Amino acid sequence: ADKCRILGQGGRQGGSGQPGDGSVAGPVLAVEYQGAAVRVAVRHGDADEAVALVPDAEFHASPIAIGAPATLGWSACDAHAIA
């Protein structure tokens, strides 16, 4: 089951097209192919980044380029705080 959504400027990447209960928006910093998934990093704030692992087929069906604006969103029940 998908736990997060990445929404690009011109469309959607995975899921329902809604960002979810929590979200961060910013430019895509990195796109890294990792076999069955693609790691997408989105900048938020001055120096922070949020990362999503997107299944390979979903990413290639609606790719997002480095530098493109994107929103990474998730459901509150799937969030895990890291101290």
In whole angstroms, give the CA distance from residue 57 to residue 14: 10
pLDDT, tens digit, for every residue of 9-31?
554 444 444 556 778 889 999 99
- Asked whether the whole model's pTM tops 0.75, one would answer no
Radius of gyration in angstroms for the set of CA atoms belonging to the chain, rounded to a whole number: 12
Tell me the two tokens of residue 11.
């469309």
**Could you report the per-residue pLDDT of 41-78, keeping only the tens digit for each?**
999 877 788 888 888 998 898 899 999 998 888 877 77
